Structure 1
Amino acid sequence: MSGEGSRPGRRSGRRPGKVDTKAAILDAARTRFAESGFDKTSIRAVAADAGVDPALVHHYFGTKQQLFATVVQFPADPEVTLSTIDAAPLDELGATIVRAVVTVWDSPAGPGVVAMARSMIAGEPTLARSFLLEVVLERVRARIATAADDGHARVALVAAQMVGLLITRKVIGLEPLASMPLPEVVAAIGPSMQRYLTGEIGAAAG
């Protein structure tokens, strides 16, 4: 058998190893999430696009949320921060979000968060939007939603506040905010966040 004949084809037979399989899953997930968003993407659909069993997706990446965090290269498990926010009393939700999120930014994972944010905003705004509204803030929105107000405008305002804080504190380093101690950041930003979540914001609160 010639060397050429023994060379494995790129698209035939089993995938040569788990690295290729994981890469195929990530490629498929990145495309699906970008085109359909988080809510409308399923593990089964990602697996079908990658040509693997859904069990492999779970094996390598865990839940859909963990897969999405890997796709956007989030350097920490978002569930840790989200669990802290979930446990906060409703009247302390604004301050808790600021405290929990800025703690991650100020941790060793912080540079990775900034790099991820820059990459998504510059190159994949659909993924950035899905990550913020469908993963990070959806559980918050579900808590504050009422029959008269679904909470979408409120969490969009929260996202705007936090993205602005990330850019001023970590990207452009605007002083004194860039070096402000965490308790002062929480005291300054928390009340505005709480108003967005549960206070009056014009027509949306009517």
Structure 2
Amino acid sequence: MPPAPRRSDGTRAAILTAARERFAADGFERATIRAIAADAGIDPSMVMRYYGSKDKLFAAAADYDLRLPDLDGVPRDELGTVLVGHFLQRWEGDETLMALLRAAVTNEAAAERMRGIFGAQLGPVVAKITGGAPDAPRRAGLVATQTLGFALCRYVLKLPPVVALDRDEAIAWLAPTIQRYLT
């Protein structure tokens, strides 16, 4: 018989759920420990006990999986198209990722979290595509500039010409640049 879950596990999970929802709704700057605790139905001191600070709570709440696709069977000349389509799908409708992007612009802990996510998840994919080329980290960084920059302009800043692009147009504009960075 497996051991019964500890009460602290449920409390941590409730805090993380409340934090993700609050950060997504209010952004990093406006979200408060007090509001997150209220959403979780606990005392604010418990949030601090488990996470120590708002920055550390955000980093824990922003544990994010880009769910990058397996590109092994993708024809080499379609890699950019597949990756751009994937990133558009991830950005659209994912409030946790949007909250992280918004926060990363003004908060060093959030920026570090975003760097970690992209470095740990995108870096190995690009390294595999390039056969471990010495410039693979640079290429991954350049792919990130396009995907993060587009997301910032489309979903956060809401620049009208970028917002007006439909999915196919966005892919048509971005994919060749991503393709060049990859290959």
Q: What TM-score, normalized to structure 2?
A: 0.62
Give the match for residue 119 of structure 1.
Answer: 103
CA distance in 2, matches of 1:149, 1:142: 9
Give the match for residue 62 of structure 2.
Answer: 72
CA distance in 2, matches of 1:147, 1:112: 31
What is the root-mean-square deviation in Å for CA atoms of aligned residues? 3.1
Give the match for residue 163 of structure 1.
Answer: 148
Q: 1:87, CA displacement in angstroms? A: 4.5
Question: Which of 161, 174, 182 is the matching residue for 1:189?
Answer: 174
CA distance in 1, matches of 2:152, 2:15: 33
Residues 17/70 of structure 1: CA separation in 2 closer, same or farther (3 Å cut):
closer
User: Secondary structure of the equivalent of 1:88?
Assistant: coil
CA distance in 2, matches of 1:148, 1:117: 29
**Count of residues in Structure 1 that have an aligned counterpart in Structure 2:** 137
Q: Which has the higher contact order (CA 8 A, sep 6+)?
A: 2
Give the match for residue 83 of structure 1.
Answer: 69
Q: 1:127, CA displacement in angstroms? A: 1.3
Please list every run of 5 or more consecutive structure 1 residues that lacks an aligned counterpart in the other structure: 1-13, 26-49, 51-68, 199-206
User: Secondary structure of the equivalent of 1:162?
Assistant: helix
CA distance in 1, matches of 2:72, 2:63: 23
Give the match for residue 180 of structure 1.
Answer: 165
Residues 147/171 of structure 1: CA separation in 2 closer, same or farther (3 Å cut):
closer
Please list every run of 5 or more consecutive structure 2 residues that lacks an aligned counterpart in the other structure: 17-49, 51-58
Q: What TM-score, normalized to structure 1?
A: 0.56
